[in-house]
Structure 1
Amino acid sequence: MKISDVLTGILLAIFGLAVILYAQTFPPIPGQDFGPRAFPSIIGVGFVLCALLLVRNGLRTQSRAAWLKLSDEFRSSHSVFRFLLVPAAVIAYILFSDRVGFAVFSVIFLLVLFLSFGVRPLTAVIVSVLGGALIFYGFYSLLHVPLSWGVLEPLI
C-alpha cells in the first residue's frame, strides 16, 4: 500500500490537534509548574510540525500522484484481517482493560498480534509475557501511571 505524504500529513495533523485539545482537559496539579497537560501537548505540537513537513514535501514531490494506492497484498482477506486487527485490539483495550487489567490484557494483546503476524507460538508466548511485564513495570513503577489491575487485583 502506498499512502501519499500529503494524506499522511493531513491525518497526522488532525491527530496532533486532537492530542493537544484533549490534553487541555487534564486538571492541573497544585504546586507544580508543569502538569499532566505539558507532555501530551508537546507531543501533539511535534505531530503537527511533522505533519506540516510531510505535506510540504508531498506537495513538492508528488503533485499528481495518487494519495492512496492499494498493493496486491490487500486483495488477500488474511492481510486485511491482520491490518484491521491492530485498531481492533486498541478498541478492545479501551473497552475491556479496566475489567481485565493492563498486565493481563497487554500479554493477550501482544500474543494475538504476534500469532496473527506469523511469529512462532513459543516465541510469541515468551515475548508477550516478557514484553507485557516490562511495559507494565515501566509505566506503573517508573512512570507512576495508575494502571488497572483488573482480575489480578485480589492478588495484590
Structure 2
Amino acid sequence: MRFDDRIVGAALVLLALFVIWQGQQIPSVPGTTFGPSLMPILLGLLMAACGVAVFIGGLRAAGGVPLVDVSVWKGRPRALITAAWSILGVVLGIALMPVIGFPIFGLLYAVPLMLLMGARLVAAVPVALVVVLAAYFTFKRLLYVPLPAGPLTFLG
C-alpha cells in the first residue's frame, strides 16, 4: 500500500498539532524559565514543518497519481495480514498491557509479527525476548517510565 505524500504530509501536520496541544497541557515547574512542555512543543513544530514540506513535495509530484495505491498488495495476503497485525497489536496493547504487563504483551506482539515478516521461530523468540526485556529495563530503570509488569512482579 502506498499513500500519496499529500496524505502523509497532512497526517503529519495533524499529529504535530496534537503533540503541540498536548505539550501545552503539561504543567510548568514553578521558578523555571523553560518548563517540561518546551520539548514536546518544539518537536511538534519540527514535525509540522516536516509535514508541510512532505505535503508540498506531494503537490509538486501529484501528476495524476492516486492518493492511495493498494495494487502492490495484490496477491500478497501475508503483507496485508502483517500490516493488520501491526495496527491491531497496538490497539490490543492499549487494552491488554495494564493486565498482562509490558514483557508478556511485548512477546505476544513481537513474535507473531516477526514470523509474519519471514523470521524463523528459532530466531524470533530469543530476539524478541532480548529486545522486549532490554526495552522494559531501559524504560523502567533508566528512564523511570512506570511500565506495568503484569504477573511478572519479580521484574519490578
TM-score by length of 2: 0.86
1:79 and 2:55 equivalent? no
**Structure 1 pair 109–39 and aligned structure 2 pair: CA distance change class (3 A):** farther
**Structure 1 pair 95–27 and aligned structure 2 pair: CA distance change class (3 A):** farther
Task: Work out the CA distance in 2 between the residues paired with 1:30 and 1:137.
Answer: 31
Partner of 2:8: 8
How far 1:94 sits from its partner (Å)?
A: 0.5
Native 8 Å contact 2:149 2:155 kept in 1: no
**Structure 1 pair 74–119 and aligned structure 2 pair: CA distance change class (3 A):** same
Native 8 Å contact 1:100 1:149 kept in 2: yes
Partner of 1:121: 121
Task: Work out the CA distance in 2 between the residues paired with 1:84 and 1:90.
Answer: 10
Partner of 1:68: 68
Native 8 Å contact 2:9 2:50 kept in 1: yes
1:100 and 2:107 equivalent? no
How far 1:148 sits from its partner (Å)?
A: 1.0
Native 8 Å contact 1:20 1:45 kept in 2: yes
**Structure 1 pair 75–47 and aligned structure 2 pair: CA distance change class (3 A):** farther
Equivalenced residue count is 155
Identity %: 25
**Structure 1 pair 34–53 and aligned structure 2 pair: CA distance change class (3 A):** same
TM-score by length of 1: 0.86
Task: Work out the CA distance in 1 between the residues paired with 2:101 and 2:137.
Answer: 14
* Larger displacement relative to structure 2 (16-25 or 50-59): 16-25
Native 8 Å contact 1:139 1:145 kept in 2: yes
Partner of 1:136: 136
Native 8 Å contact 1:108 1:128 kept in 2: no
Native 8 Å contact 2:98 2:150 kept in 1: yes
Partner of 2:35: 34
Partner of 1:24: 24
How far 1:135 sits from its partner (Å)?
A: 0.8
